[in-house]
Amino acid sequence: MSGNILAIDQGMTSTRSIVFDQAMKVVATGQKEFAQHYPASGWVEHDPEDLWQSVLSTCRYALAAVKLGASDIAAIGITNQRETAVIWDKESGKPIYNAIVWQDRRAPAEEARAGEEILAKDRAAARSLFLGHEDRVPARQREGRAQTRRARRSSSAPSTAS
């Protein structure tokens, strides 16, 4: 195995593969564009198979350009496009839907609503804990706090052993 490095840049509109030699000099590149899909207003998707095929073809192209094989690569680095997500079937290994691209706008309203609900619950819990509203705290939590306070007092009490 040699010290060549293969970098894969999976971008928004194309994939680029770059081979670096041991001196970190670029010795070969391959690039392939792929389609973006807009099935509805604000939706942005990629076909996962297009993404995979673009990675395979650009890696193969770059390696072939400098007559290298997989055994000539010491490491692979990958960069991709933010929070793009693909869900794969556990059994088949095939994607069950298109990749949802980070620019997609179908989820933010629901995420914001869910975030506000979580914050509201957290604020209520914080008020209960820090402002002494013990009546809002379950008895089990109140007893746990009391035990903690007793343990702290007993561990900070001066020792009487001589």
For the segment 10-58, what is each residue's pLDDT rounded down to a tens digit? 988 999 999 999 999 999 999 999 999 999 998 999 999 999 999 999 9
Residue 9 and residue 57: Cα distance in Å, rounded? Answer: 13
Q: Mind listing the pLDDT tens digit for each residue in 124-148?
A: 665 555 555 445 455 555 566 666 6
Identify any residues that bridge with 26 across adjacent strands, giving them in sequence order. 20
Alpha helix segments (H runs only) across 66-130: 108-130
> Could you tell me the pTM of the whole model?
0.63
Domains of the chain: 4-100 (3.30.420.40), 108-153 (no CATH)
| The predicted structure's pLDDT at residue 139 | 58
Closest CA to 53 of 66, 34, 68, 71: 34
What residues contact 46, with CB distance under 8 A and at least 6 apart?
34, 35, 36, 37, 84, 98, 99, 101
Under 8 Å between Cβ of 79 and 20: no
Closest CA to 27 of 78, 72, 57, 71: 72
Q: Who wins on pLDDT, 79 or 128?
A: 79
